[in-house]
Structure formats: C-alpha cells, structure tokens
Amino acid sequence: MLRLFCLLVLALPMALVADEPKTKGKTIELFNGKDLTGWGYPKGAQFDGKTEADDKRYTAKDGMIVVNAGKGIKQLWTTASFPGDFELTLEFRAAKNADSGLFIRGPQLQVRDYLVAGPYKMLKKYKPQDWNEIVVVVKDNVAHCTCNGEVLEAALKVPATGGIGLEADRDQMEYRNIKLTPLK
C-alpha cells in the first residue's frame, strides 16, 4: 500500500505539468539594460559590449537606451531579424517636444512627445515626460500598435522579416524594457 501511495505522489507532479498551458514563445530581451549588445548602425558599427555609440547619439545607462540630441537623424537597429508573428513591448519617456521613432522591420511608428506634435495629438492616456508603454502585435505582416492601450496604428503593413530600430531625431528620448515575444 505504501508503495502504491509513493507511486501516486511521484506521478502527480508529472500529471500537473502535462496540463499546464504551453507558452507561445520565449520572450527575448532586446536590450540587456547594461550595454548596446545586439544593436548597431545599419551597414556600420556594431556596439556589442559598448555603453555608447561611437558618435554618442545612443547611450546605455541606468537600464535605459538614451537617445541623445544631435545633428541630423540617426537610426539604431537590432543586429537580429525577427520573422513571423510577435508581440513587441517597450516603455519610453520623451522630453518636452522630443521626436523619435520605432521601426518595425522597416516601417516607422512615430514615438514622440505625442501631445505636442502629431499625428497622435489626441491621445488621452499619454503621460507627458513620464513612462508610457507601446505594444506592437505583428500578425501576418500587419502590426497593431498601441500606446498605453490607445490605438496608434490599427493595421501598419510590415515586411515578413527584419529588425527593430530606434530613431534619434530631436531632443532626448529614453527607452527601457524592450522585449519581443514570438507568437507561434
């Protein structure tokens, strides 16, 4: 009897594990919070192990990628490409009148001090000069993009594969918690 009891006790955890929901994909941290590993300029410098881009336009510090003001527009991209469906989440904080962008396999989603400059000036949940969350869900090469739950783009067409990019345009932007989860 004791032997049967032991077998049942040992088998119970295995039965519970079998019934657990399967995760759709393992979350990929696109930014490690310490340096610019996995990021670089298109057809240019890679910044693995560095805390600052060669031209100082992008800096990794205090768990953030800081986009520094500078002359002209500059883009920082992941060195990896991401095919298939996925959910991308990140938090951003824009200085007053800051202008940046989030590239999803190529097409750009405007990320900025939304209430100052369009096209998303009517957002009600945007918090000026505070942390805001962007969620991008890509399914069948169409991205649904929200800021704090409000729709920015309902159906942004994107290529079948490509990287994720950030733009340095005007004033300081900060990004953190940049994560991508494949949806399989």
Exposure letters 26-62 (e unless 16+ CB within 10 A, then b): eebebbeeebbbbbbbeeeeebeebebbeeebbbbee
Torsion of CA 17, 19, 20, 26, to 10 degrees: 90
pLDDT band at 100 (very low <50, low <70, confident <90, very high): very high
Q: Which domains does the chain have, with CATH numbers?
A: 25-182 (2.60.120.560)
pTM of the model: 0.85
Rg (CA), the chain: 20
List residues bridging with 100 in a β-sheet: 111, 168
- pLDDT for 66-99, tens place per residue? 999 888 899 999 999 999 999 999 999 999 999 9
DSSP strands (E only) in the chain: 28-29, 39-40, 58-61, 64-67, 74-78, 86-94, 99-104, 108-112, 132-139, 142-147, 150-157, 164-170, 173-182
Q: How is residue 173 annotated by DSSP?
A: E
Contact residues for 110 (Cβ-Cβ < 8 A; gap 6+): 99, 101, 119, 120, 152
Q: Which two structure tokens, joined as six digits, stand for 130?
A: 């505070």
DSSP assignments along 86-111, one per residue: EEEEEEEEE-TT-EEEEEESS-EEEE
Within its chain, how far is the Cα of 152 from the centroid? Answer: 15
20 pLDDT higher than 60: no
Per-residue pLDDT band at 10 (split at 50, 70, 90)? very low
Range scoring the smallest mean pLDDT among 9-13, 39-43, 157-161: 9-13
Give the three-class secondary structure for 13: helix
Cα-Cα-Cα-Cα torsion 117, 72, 179, 30, nearest 10 degrees, comes to: 180
